[in-house]
Structures are given as C-alpha cells and as structure tokens.
Amino acid sequence: MELRKRLDAAAARHGVPGAGIAVWSAGELHEAATGVISKDTGVEATTDAIFQVGSTTKVWTAALIMQLVEEGKVELDGPVTDYLPEFGLGYDVVVTVRQLLSHTAGFDGDLFEDTGRGDDCLDAYLAHLHGAGKVHEPGELFSYCNAGYVVLGAIVARLRGTTWEQAVRDHLYTPLGVTHAALLGEEAVLFRASAGHMGPDHVVFPKWQMPRSNAPAGSTMCLAPRELVRFGRMILAGGVADDGTRVLGQETIAAMCEQQVEVPTVPGLLAGAWGLGFELLDWGIGHDGGTPGQSTFWRIIPDRDIVIAMSGNGGDFLGLIDDVALPVLRELGVDAPGLPVPPAEPEAVDATPYLGTFAGPVGTLTVVAEGGGLRVDLDPSELMASLGGVASSAGYVHHSGDSFIATEKEGGSHATITFVMRDGVAAFLHNSRAVARA
C-alpha cells in the first residue's frame, strides 16, 4: 500500500502538519503516520499518536444507547422524557430516542454551551436546552444535531449510574481492548496528543480541551486511528471483539445500519442517508469528525472486510482524503467516489424559488441570484464567530435537482447546498443542517 510514502507526499502537498492512517484489509492491519503533532513543539507524529476524532464519537454514543436497548432499558420509539424527565425545549414537543439517533428531532443542534468540567455537566446542559429553538417537526427531515447526541449521552449516564466517560470505558473501551484513547485532558497528556492547527500559517489552536458538556457529540474523544479500525472490525465481526467478547448483537448492528432518513445532499463521498448513528453510503458506512484544526475520516466496508481511519491536524484534510484514503480504497476494490465538482457547463436556472434569507444557530444565510446561479452570503452568529467563523460570500451553480455547488473551493472542496422545497418554494437551505427560511 505504501501508506507512509503516500501520506508523506500528500501531507506536504496539502499543508497538513501531521496525520495518521490505519487500514484493515485481508486480515491485516496497515498503519502509517507523518509530520508532527504540534508545530510549536515539533514532536513527531507516530502511529501511536492520538487525535481528536470529533463527531465519529457519535457512533460510540449510539452503540452505548443500543446496548441499553438490547438490555430492555431503552425503547427506541419511547419519549426521551421516559429516561430524562427534566428534558425539554423552548417549545412543546415530544422527541423520541430514535429521532435523536437519526438527527430528525427537529431542534437547534449547534448549541455548544460550556457547562463546566464537573460530572454534572450533562445535567446542566439539559437545563440549557430549555431555550432551544424549533427547526422542523420531529421526524420531518434530517438536520444534523450535535445537541441531540449530548442528550443521548445524558441518557447513558443516567441509566448506567455513572458519567458518560466511564460508560465509554466500561462498555466499549474495555471489552474492545482499546489502549490508545483519551476522554479528558489529564488522560491525553499520557500520549502523543495532537494539537489542531488553524489557517495557512498553521497556528496552533490555543484551546485544546473543548467543553466536556459536548463530549457525547464529539468534543473530547481522542483516538489513534487503529482504535477506530478496532471498532470497525467489531462491526464486521457481528458485534464481537478480538477476544471473543460480545459488544453488540448482530440484530443491533443491522438496525444501526438500516436507513432511517434520507439526507438532502449531493450523494457520493457524502452520506445520502442516515442510520442509527452511522452515515450510510452506497459503498459503505462510517462517520466523519472535526474539532478546531483536527479532522477524521472513518469508513467500514462490510462486503469487503475493510476498515479505514485517517486523522489529520490542519491544512487541507479533504485533499488528504482525495490523495490517500480514496485511492487506497479503490485499489482494494471499493468503488469510492471522489468529492463533487461543478459541472463543466452548468445549467442556468430560475433562481426565484430559492431566493431569500435563512437563519439558524450558525448565522444568517442570504441567497440572491447571480449569473445564472446563486450567491450565498453568510453572516455568522456570535457563537460561530467565536469558533473562527467569518462573514463570507460564495457563488454557486446548479448541480442537480434542487442542489447547487460552489464554483470555488474552500477548505479543499466545493461546498454543496440543497434546498428542501415546500409548495414550490425553498423552505430550508440544507448544508447538513436544515436552515429554515426566516
């Protein structure tokens, strides 16, 4: 596979300070690493280095919930209030566990309130949700919801009588045999822990530890790529770990991989559907993740007994996927498509149904007609500005259906948006989150 050679060259080409990759194929583990875990320290990245894996954590949280389902302690279609009586939003609604798992609950998802480092942080976060706004009716459509996975983590903690972190250790890390992992900063210092790097100058992101209150959604988990491969191998083995320990039942894994909802998007490398935790693609399952300056790509290919995980700490990570992960998968016989690109001769469209203003926690998006396509102006919210978001404007051309693709690359790829139509007019601008018309 020449993983190290490929990774070295691609990381240099795409300005990635450090990266690690692990591939399981034909019963063997292949690993490589390149660069440094921090430009400030110059410490070498090795295959033992741990990276913040972001939202890939959601699959681990989903697995913890599904274990409770197996034990008869949680009903997927039961109201969340059956397990967390204090759960409530800024409006009157009934939300189920299944809807949280499949990102169809319909409330504001990008609520990153820091409720402290104490063991009560998830309970405090639940209180913060009492002000969460409505995006759509529960079950109506997919809208990526970080907050929903925090609620799932709170269910795990409440029913296990411990913290979410300890539940991860007891019910996943230990039976799986995970060794290179951290959930808190005081654990991460025992490893080669990667720092995120921001911008073209690769400035180390100054706040390494993200809020513990968002941990079940992906703010704190750090793993060596091989540990994501280890989890994927358990999925391939029907829920059984390397030592024969059963972690999940076969029926449970099938349920996690069953489509719950379609995702309004340009299909291909991006998930066109969602299961109970997993992104579902035509060619595999998995999840991606990111924290400020760190990114992770994770795919499981059940019909070929392949798992791949790759993490990086800045630069053009999507370019790294395009130049390393996808070619490796193709050489192993996986029909993995690349990132979407604009058509050579884009079709001019009547922009009228799409024009207007759409608003959500990430900010305000204003859509105007421009040159046979669209221009989208973003005014970031205060929260997103605090995370590095800036006002921007981008031109889009028609891709297919009600989907449009940016004419210029940003962060290594052409962004896509899809409009969800109601009565011939765009009711939502969808970019993994459903942003409602203001």
Name the burial class of residue 175, with classes exposed (0-12), middle (13-18) and buried (19+) by CB atoms within 10 angstroms of its CB.
Answer: middle
Q: Which of 55, 213, 311, 413 is catalytic?
A: 55
3-state secondary structure of 65: helix
Going by C-alpha positions, the residue among 53, 11, 14, 58 that lies closest to residue 32 is 11
Give dist(CA 289, CA 233) in Å, integer. Answer: 19
- Contact call for residues 310 and 47 (beta carbons, < 8 A): no
Strand order in the sheet with 181-182: 51-52, 222-223, 181-182
Going by C-alpha positions, the residue among 412, 311, 321 that lies closest to residue 34 is 311
Active site residue 413: no
Give dist(CA 122, CA 158) in Å, integer. Answer: 10
Quote the DSSP letter at residue 73.
Answer: S
Give dist(CA 81, CA 28) in Å, integer. Answer: 45
- Contact call for residues 199 and 17 (beta carbons, < 8 A): no
Give dist(CA 164, CA 180) in Å, integer. Answer: 18
Going by C-alpha positions, the residue among 20, 409, 65, 378 that lies closest to residue 222 is 20
Size of the chain, expressed as the number of residues it contains: 438
Give dist(CA 26, CA 21) in Å, integer. Answer: 17
To the nearest 5 percent, what fractions of the chain are helix, strand and coil? 30, 25, 45
Strand order in the sheet with 28-35: 28-35, 18-25, 306-312, 294-301, 284-291, 279-281, 273-274, 261-262
Name the burial class of residue 418, with classes exposed (0-12), middle (13-18) and buried (19+) by CB atoms within 10 angstroms of its CB.
Answer: buried
3-state secondary structure of 21: strand
Q: Which residues are catalytic?
A: 55
